[in-house]
Structure 1
Amino acid sequence: MDGIINILKPSGMTSHDVVSFIRKNLNIKKVGHTGTLDPNAAGVLPICIGKGTKLSQYIMQKQKKYRCEMIFGKSTDTLDSYGKVTDVKETEDIEFDKINSILDKFHGEIEQVPPAYSAIKIDGVRLYEKARKGQEIKEIPSRVVTIYNIEVVDYEFPRLMIDITCSSGTYVRSLVRDIAEDLGTVAYMSLLIRTKSGEFDIENSITLEEIGSCDLEKNLISISDLNLGMDDVVIKSTASVAYINGCEVSYKGLLTDINPYVNQKVRVFDDSGRFMGIGFIKNKDTENFLKNDTLFI
């Protein structure tokens, strides 16, 4: 069995818990997830099975969409509702126009500092392990992430609900902290649901309870059907062996013009329609070549 299952992860489970559940209940050894979703968050968690695990790295890189609720007036050490309150600030009702104005500042590339309670490693140790032990945490390096869209869904002070479309690696808890700071107050994240991960959305996800009762074949997305936002390139059967062996293939061995796809990853099929894997178009000495990135045969 090879492919991807779009799982609706419940709150209270780690991503690894979901993998273990599927491995045990479906009796499949090769199972992996596509990027950690906080234990206290719910939502879309694509699970890779069999050869589908080779696609994990590509799915992780795709955009994510979240629905988040934040509450003004308090902050916690974990930046969500599960942590200890670290600050309380009396805050008057914030005008809706002011909130929208501040949210506009967070569009595009931004620099954010991840939470102390996160899976990021410093000196080989995950931050949340140090935080739970009360160990001193050195300055956490900031990172650049991209916010493609952020908009208000509902607002009734002190609660604000927003939808966020962002790049991989974005910490919504940090975003909540920074939005509140720009509004001159503090806040914590009270709810987080991932509604989309790449081409996987919450409307087409299935729960863990459904795993045992549903027709798994119907819910398993095959490797070749996953678009990944990539263009398709067709290779001639005469060049297939060279491609499989890691050789660079020029236009002579291809049925697709690869010139528009330089420096891009593409899905590769042979001329019989067989999916061969993910390739990369590179330029070398003024000529473009196809090189395999991940093989699936």
Structure 2
Amino acid sequence: MIDGFINIYKEQGFTSFDVVAKLRGILKQKKIGHTGTLDPMAEGVLLVCLGSATKMCDLLTEKNKTYTCTMLLGKTSDTEDVTGVMTDVTDVYPDEKTVRAAVMSFVGDYMQIPPMYSAIKVNGKKLYELARAGQVIERDPRPVTIHGITLQSVELPRVTFDVSCSKGTYIRSLCRDIGEKLGCGAVMEKLVRTEVKGFTIEESLTLDEVEKARDDGTLMQHVLTTDKLMPDIPELHISAKGEKLLANGNKLSADAFAENKIHRDTYVKVFDENGRFAALYEYSDEKRQYVPFKMFPVSN
């Protein structure tokens, strides 16, 4: 079984689950998971975890993401993008200067109402299931952060921009909110996720390219080790004193590591005596020890 992760280019028309299902067939292994859903109409970076790296999927959904979006003014739809049923259409919209100002005004924190066509659960039901049944329910706004927006082009009624945002941000809903502020409506026409935590679209592989790499024996050149998913987390290397304790998943004192350091308020990547990434630990002031958070045993 392969352990690690691949930067996949999700193509239009595939769901994130489709990508996982197809990779299971290509790689002939079941233990595969993705790190953050992309809409079927969206394309771009989808980090896919393999083997023991699937333990990281829940942590990676927390990361910031970067997109390139094309927004179409003068329309609204039930899905907040061009795939839905158009509810209002107009060819009257503000001038370019007003549009630019409205888009940039969303940089920072704001309360965003999630779309009905989303996987958010309300009373045990996913919103998109309710929407498909013809139901529209009130959704509570949620805090999101737009870290930055760079306008690429304004060729009305189309506006293309790059946006970096926090987890849980719906770019469809950002387009909706910009359209509401402008008074003319707006829908998302195209969305490309260009980066997730430093992993870029230029480095990504399509499913066809993964299959080709498997066949020509170069696949492992594209599989990154699990520790590379967390480039900003400190590293500790086990000393001879702590080898057996680490192997058994026990708590570890600071002097069980070659560095003999305490890192608070963060996980640490722990490497075994062979230099292999073995676990995530976190320091407990109460126990005055590092305690295991996730172990990454070698797959057979």
TM-score normalised by the chain length of structure 1: 0.91
- Share of identical aligned residues, percent? 39
Residue 44 of structure 2: SS of its match in structure 1?
strand
Change (3 A) 1:269 1:85: same
TM superposition shift of 1:167: 1.3
Deviation string 1:19-44 (CA, Å, 9 cap, x unpaired) is: 11111122111111111111111111
On the 8 A contact 1:153/1:163 being kept in 2, the answer is yes
Could you tell me which residue of structure 2 aligns to residue 210 of structure 1?
Answer: 209
Counterpart of 1:52 in 2: which secondary structure?
helix
Deviations 1:34-87 (A, max 9, x none): 111111111111111111211212222111110000011010000000000112
Contact 2:93 2:182 in 1 (8 A): no
Q: Contact 1:235/1:271 (CA < 8 Å) preserved in 2?
A: yes
Gaps of 5+ in 2: none
| 1:7 alignment partner in structure 2 | 8
SS at match of 1:53: helix
The residue number in structure 2 matching 1:160 is 159
Structure 1: tracts of 5 or more residues without a match? none
Cα deviation, 1:162-196, whole Å, max 9, x if unaligned, reads 10111111100011111122222200000001111
Q: Which amino acid aligns with 2:255?
A: K
Q: State whether residues 35 and 48 of structure 2, in contact with CA within 8 Å, keep that contact through their aligned partners in structure 1.
A: yes
Partner residue in 2 for 1:284:
286
After superposing the two structures, state which structure 1 stretch, 243-252 or 144-153, moved more. Answer: 243-252
Deviation string 1:256-284 (CA, Å, 9 cap, x unpaired) is: 3544x311122111344221122223322
Query: Hey, which bits of structure 1, 4+ residues long, moved more than 6 A?
Result: none
Contact 2:249 2:295 in 1 (8 A): no
- Check if 1:101 corresponds to 2:101: yes
CA–CA separation in structure 2 for the residues paired with 1:126 and 1:237: 50
- Number of corresponding residues: 292
Structure 1 residues 1-297: aligned runs within 5 Å: 1-96=2-97, 98-135=98-135, 137-214=136-213, 215-243=218-246, 245-256=248-259, 258-259=261-262, 261-284=263-286, 287=288, 289-297=289-297
Task: Map Cα deviations across residues 72-111 of structure 1 (whole Å, 9 max, x no partner).
Answer: 1010000000000112244234233x33433333222221
8 Å contact kept, 1:258–1:281? no
Give the letter aligned to residue 55 of structure 2: K
Contact 1:243/1:291 (<8 A) preserved: no
